[in-house]
């Protein structure tokens, strides 16, 4: 399969871009080649596609379901009871909706933690995206449940080899308040033996920190350090309530962090100190979190809010400039998950987007990256390509009407024996 993009703008220059297989083959002012698919790139810019470093894809099913409350009430009284009713088929359709939304907003990779791993994996396979998928691991200090969860991890790890290499298996302990010390240690050992990443929520709220101090006599990062889990394969999500000493520990051990600014603001979890992480050299990428706490999967919006939040938190208008925010949402996420993507360059994986430069939000064109971060939204994305395959062209994704219809049918069935979904939170 080959794709030729004619006369597209790249780094201020109009070029032709040839994709062969799943990688960029040639980039130049006049690439003389035929291709299976030819795209007119006139009036468009080619950019790396977005890498959403943390979400819960099938939470699209809970978009608008439980809003305007604190994290722990939100989880225990609303989200977890709803999720207990979801089947693998429900997860499949929720994940397909998430993939559709991400493709239409220029995202080709996401890292996920959720139930029914195979349902999400099937959706990703069919939608043509990349993903790092983890099964949610909860044991609530129950040894019997811990054994069930461990068996699930091993079984799914084995099953993951049957899926396309676009899908990466990772470990997903939910949080230190839902996973026991013994299970965290087991997961750390399992990850080390099999060369896997570990994806964990940490220090999202002040309550989580206070509870950790009360139970273990240590702050969360110190607690993980004592368990031997701090390592380059550990990816921490949120990391809002951090002391300088904890950030130093992260930097010393090469631990990586995912910043989810919209979710943190909506749940009032706290303000992430990007400047303090940056000065210590901690690698930070961007994630949207799930649709029940964001409530969308638009990485353009995430870039803008991350930049603005960093500025107001540090009271420095030069903090997290546009190019840096774009890098966090593209190559930063790619590096975090070991992907050879995030750049438009010969030999790199052919994951990219075409942005409409004539869209009202992109005019005038003083600075492409500034427009992309501070002005654009998902409607500016015209074309999305992943792994050398066109997933969206001219703003249209094949099969999107069926996905919307199936999701509505799924929600109607879930709501049937209960109150209507829209009334369930009243």
> What's the pTM value of the predicted model, to 2 decimals?
0.95
CATH number of 2-48+343-400: 2.30.40.10
What sign results for the dihedral spanned by CA atoms 228, 230, 234, 239? positive
| Residue 267: strand, helix, or coil | coil
| Residue 189: strand, helix, or coil | helix
Give the pLDDT score at 269. Answer: 93
State how far the alpha carbon of 334 is from the alpha carbons of 53, 112, 225, 283, 331, in Å.
Answer: 8, 14, 26, 12, 5
Using one digit for the tens of pLDDT, what is the confidence trace for 372-399? 999 999 999 999 999 999 999 999 999 9
Phi, psi of 369 (to 5 degrees): -65, -40
Spatial contact of 224 and 288, defined as CB atoms under 8 Å apart: no
Dist. CA 94–CA 386, nearest whole Å:
20
- The DSSP annotation for 106-118 comes to TEEEEEEEES-HH
pLDDT band of 32, cuts 50, 70, 90: confident
Torsion of CA 167, 90, 97, 331, to 10 degrees: -30
Dist. CA 397–CA 401, nearest whole Å:
9
Phi, psi of 33 (to 5 degrees): -160, 150
Q: Where are the domains of the chain?
A: 2-48+343-400, 50-336
Q: Give the CATH number of domain 50-336; options: 3.40.120.10, 3.40.50.2300, 3.40.1590.10, 3.20.20.140.
A: 3.20.20.140
Closest residue by Cα to residue 299 from 346, 254, 332: 332
- Contacts of 416-424 with CB under 8 Å at 24 or more apart are 421/65, 422/64, 424/65, 424/66, 424/78, 424/82
Residues 6+ apart with CB under 8 A from 158: none
Give the pLDDT score at 421. Answer: 38
Tokens at 14, concatenated? 């109009």
418 has pLDDT over 70: no
Dist. CA 22–CA 145, nearest whole Å:
41
User: Strands 381-386 and 352-356, how do they pair?
Assistant: antiparallel
Using one digit for the tens of pLDDT, what is the confidence trace for 299-315? 999 999 999 999 999 99
Give the pLDDT score at 87. Answer: 94
CA 343 to chain centre: 18
Q: Give counts: helices (H), strands (E), the chain.
A: 16, 16
Residues above pLDDT 90, as percent of the chain: 89
15-24, 64-73, 164-173, range with the lowest pLDDT: 64-73
């Amino acid at each position: 399969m080959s794709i030729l993009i004619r006369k597209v703008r790249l780094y201020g220059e109009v070029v032709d871009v040839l994709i062969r297989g799943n990688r960029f083959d040639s980039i130049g002012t006049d690439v003389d080649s035929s291709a299976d698919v030819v795209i007119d790139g006139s009036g468009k810019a080619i950019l790396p596609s977005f890498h959403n470093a943390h979400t819960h894809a099938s939470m699209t099913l809970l978009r608008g379901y439980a809003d305007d409350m604190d994290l722990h009430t939100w989880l225990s009284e609303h989200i977890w009871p709803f999720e207990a009713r979801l089947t693998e088929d429900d997860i499949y359709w929720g994940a397909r909706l998430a993939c559709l939304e991400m493709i239409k907003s220029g995202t080709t990779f996401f890292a996920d933690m959720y139930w029914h791993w195979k349902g999400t994996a099937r959706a990703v396979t069919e939608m043509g995206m990349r993903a790092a998928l983890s099964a949610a691991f909860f044991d609530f200090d129950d040894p019997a449940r811990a054994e069930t969860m461990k068996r699930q991890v091993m079984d799914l790890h084995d099953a993951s080899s049957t899926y396309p290499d676009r899908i990466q298996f990772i470990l997903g302990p939910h949080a230190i308040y839902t996973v026991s010390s013994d299970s965290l240690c087991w997961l750390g050992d399992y990850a080390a033996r099999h060369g896997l990443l570990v994806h964990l929520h940490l220090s999202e709220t002040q309550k989580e920190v206070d509870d950790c101090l009360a139970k273990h006599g240590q702050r969360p990062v110190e607690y993980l350090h004592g368990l031997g889990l701090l390592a380059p394969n550990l990816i921490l999500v949120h990391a809002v309530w951090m002391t300088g000493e904890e950030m130093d520990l992260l930097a010393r051990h090469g631990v990586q962090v995912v910043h989810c600014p919209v979710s943190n603001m909506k749940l009032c979890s706290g303000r992430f100190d990007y400047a303090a992480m940056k000065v210590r050299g901690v690698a930070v990428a961007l994630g949207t979190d799930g649709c029940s706490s964001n409530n969308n999967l638009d990485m353009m919006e995430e870039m803008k809010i991350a930049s603005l939040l960093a500025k107001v938190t540090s009271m420095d208008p030069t903090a997290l400039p546009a190019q840096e925010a774009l890098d966090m949402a593209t190559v930063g996420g790619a590096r975090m998950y070991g992907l050879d993507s995030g750049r438009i360059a010969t030999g790199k994986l052919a994951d990219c987007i075409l942005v409409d430069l004539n869209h009202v939000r992109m005019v005038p064109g003083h600075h492409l990256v500034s427009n992309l971060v501070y002005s654009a939204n998902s409607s500016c994305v015209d074309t999305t390509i992943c792994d050398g395959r066109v997933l969206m062209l001219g703003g249209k994704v094949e099969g999107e009407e069926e996905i919307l219809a199936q999701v509505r049918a799924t929600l109607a069935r879930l709501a049937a024996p209960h109150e209507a979904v829209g009334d369930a939170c009243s």
